[in-house]
């Protein structure tokens, strides 16, 4: 059931409506401390949805929300769960998003 919930939710994480996108990121930020490592089955699906457009967003609210989500992931999930998806994102992103992901990896 976790897959079904987050499969539906992930499209809100990169919604074309910036308000929907920002609220989804802020909601994800609140869910991470509650779910913690229980997110492991869906983390490879969620990280691209959270990172791809949001860390390069010119909208300061979306960028801040995305940064907060990445920080919450680092605080509440085991590092080994994040290593592969973060490496992949750092390798293929550009601009500020690449810099942010590289700093998190370091």
Query: Domain of 72?
Result: 1-104
How many domains in the chain?
Answer: 1
Share of the chain above pLDDT 70, in %: 100
In this prediction, residue 72 has a pLDDT band, given cuts at 50, 70 and 90, of: very high
104 in Cβ contact with 86 (< 8 Å): yes
Asked whether the predicted pLDDT for residue 1 surpasses 90, the reply is: no
Q: Report how far apart the first and last C-alpha atoms of the chain are (Å, whole number).
A: 34
Q: Got the DSSP string for 46-96?
A: HHHHHHTTTTT-SSHHHHHHHHHHHHHHHHHS-HHHHHHHHHHHHHH--HH
Largest CA distance in the chain: 36
* pTM score of the predicted model: 0.93
12 in Cβ contact with 20 (< 8 Å): yes
């Amino acid at each position: 059931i976790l897959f079904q919930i987050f499969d539906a939710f992930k499209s809100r994480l990169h919604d074309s409506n910036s308000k929907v996108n920002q609220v989804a990121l802020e909601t994800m930020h609140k869910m991470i401390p509650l779910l913690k490592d229980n997110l492991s089955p869906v983390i490879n699906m969620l990280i691209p949805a959270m990172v791809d457009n949001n860390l390069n967003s010119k909208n300061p609210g979306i960028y801040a929300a995305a940064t907060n989500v990445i920080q919450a992931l680092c605080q509440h999930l085991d590092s080994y769960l994040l290593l592969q998806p973060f490496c992949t994102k750092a390798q293929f992103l550009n601009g500020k998003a690449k810099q942010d992901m590289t700093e998190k990896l370091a």
